[in-house]
Amino acid sequence: MPRLPSIGSDIGSWGSLLNEFLRVSHREDGSIKSTVSVSNVQDFGAKGDGVANDTAAIQSAIDAAISAGGGIVFFPRGRYVTTASLICSASAVVLCGVGHSSVIMPKGSFDTISFAAPGNAYIYGNKIADILFEESQKNGGATINGQYVAQFHAMRVYGGSGWNGWIFHNFNNVTLEHCRFESYRGEYYGKATGGGSGPGKGRSDVLRLFGLVLGGERKTGMVGIDIDGFVHTVNGWGVHLINIGAQGLLARNTFGAENNPTFFTFDDLECDYPDLECVRLDSGQRFFFNNAQLNGTRGAASNIYISPNVRGISFTGGFSSGAQQAGIAIDGRDVTVSAMHFYFNSSPEFGGAKNAYPGILLGMASKDVTVTGCRSGQEATQDYQSSGCQVDTTADGFVIVGNDFRYNGLPGVNNGAGIGPSKLIANNI
């Protein structure tokens, strides 16, 4: 039986360890023959019957792993009722179950599991895997709350009907992999913040989101993923946001951090039917989106909005369709949009008005924008978008070249800014 991997070891080592633990870590008489400290919550008195309050027993199991200098807290098959936060305050503690058979059922207003040490000290190498959270009796708090965590990893975690999903503040290297949070009712499915006041002020660096599904039953005002403040390096792959009650992905700095969100890369981001923008970038720089699939903003909004406070943005490939307003509305600087398809926007299907908004909008504050190789318009809905591309009067520094702008209310580019040395429109269909 291998030992727990070190803090710096890779994800594969942990996966091998978990498989080995679940498969061969018991002797024939049922006793554990592992060199890893394993705390079975039922050995500490947890009933797992869906009736008894198991909070104290589970916390005792966590405390035992902490006292051992790290280890596994194991949840056998069962339904574990909790009425207060489960707190992990040290490094190298792993909480794991056996998938949807290991259910934690919190009741009340609190963070279901909190990873945080006293005095804002960093804790390292904590993990949570293969646990289902049934949170219909929660009326506050988050499912997972991590404060000053580093090299944290959650995988195959499922949350249903909770309040808020996950929140991480002032972290370093957090990974959420193949997790689903469905039909929550609070303010956000996921939130990452960095910075603040006081000594050090704080920051967050490296958030990786792989194979996430967030959404379900719509709750008005609830954000999908909220990135706020000094949060650097966010990588997403295969993230699906469905029926979100506000913005799907929101980047901003209302947190009062000394720096803004920076360095986002999202591949295969899908957002369907949010109440507000699929992607709203209010603050930050250097955001890159590849093959985004964005559809059906229901509120009075565009599928994508880039504010004047944002610069260094790239959208490549994918599509934007079905918005009440424009497919993309750009007020930022240094923006590149290429090889995307914009169609069926300004859509009455979702409360919009035909011919009111274009597929692509270069707003008044936009500057240094390149639009190339895009299709904006569709023959089947050619009376929806007002034009393939609209350039407002004070937009500047734009290059709109090599696009297909057929099949709109007004074919081509509706250019209110004119042509000049820094304003190029050429070779579009």
311 and 336 in contact (C-beta within 8 Å)? no
Residue 35's pLDDT band (cuts 50, 70, 90): low
Q: Which of 71, 59, 57, 53 is nearest to 5 (CA)?
A: 71
pLDDT at 276 over 80: yes
Q: Which pairing describes strands 231-237 and 204-210: parallel, antiparallel, or unpaired?
A: parallel
| Count of beta carbons in the 10 Å neighbourhood of residue 180 | 18
pLDDT class of 28 with cuts at 50, 70, 90? low
Q: For the chain, how big is the Rg over CA atoms in Å? A: 24
> What residue segments make up the domains of the chain, in order of their start?
1-186
Domain 1-186 fold: Pectate Lyase C-like (2.160.20)
Give the pLDDT of residue 145.
98
Running DSSP on this structure, what letter comes out for residue 84? Answer: S
Closest CA to 267 of 243, 288, 294, 244: 288
Tokens encoding 81: 């009722």
Q: Give phi and psi for 369, each to the nearest 5.
A: -115, 135
Reported as half-sphere exposure (CB side, CA atoms, 13 A), residue 27 has a value of 6
How do strand 86-88 and strand 113-115 relate by DSSP bridges? parallel
pLDDT band at 349 (very low <50, low <70, confident <90, very high): confident
The model's pTM is: 0.91
Q: In the predicted model, is pLDDT for residue 16 greater than 60?
A: no
Residues 44, 218: Cα–Cα separation, whole Å: 39
The amino acid present at 162, given as its one-letter code, is: G
Taken in order 277, 272, 220, 113, is the CA torsion positive or negative?
negative
Residue 251, pLDDT above cutoff 90: yes
Q: What is the mean pLDDT of the chain?
A: 91
The two structure tokens encoding residue 89: 């305050």
pLDDT at 128 > cutoff 80 = yes
Percent of the chain with pLDDT over 70: 91
Structure tokens belonging to residue 223: 């954000």
Comparing CA positions, the residue from 206, 254, 258 lying closest to residue 230 is: 258
Could you tell me if 164 and 133 are in contact, meaning their C-beta atoms sit under 8 angstroms apart? no
**Closest listed residue to residue 206, CA positions, set 261, 286, 130:** 261
pLDDT in tens, 181-230: 999 999 999 999 999 766 667 899 999 999 999 999 999 999 999 999 99
Mean pLDDT of 114-119: 94
Distance of CA 106 to the CA centre of its chain: 23
pLDDT in tens, 384-411: 999 999 999 999 999 999 999 999 999 8
Q: Using a CB cutoff of 8 Å and minimum separation of 24, what contacts does 56-61 make?
A: 58/82, 58/86, 59/86, 59/87
Q: If you search the block for the tokens 């909220």, which residue do you land on? A: 226
Chain position carrying tokens 């705390």: 39
Amino acid at residue number 245: G
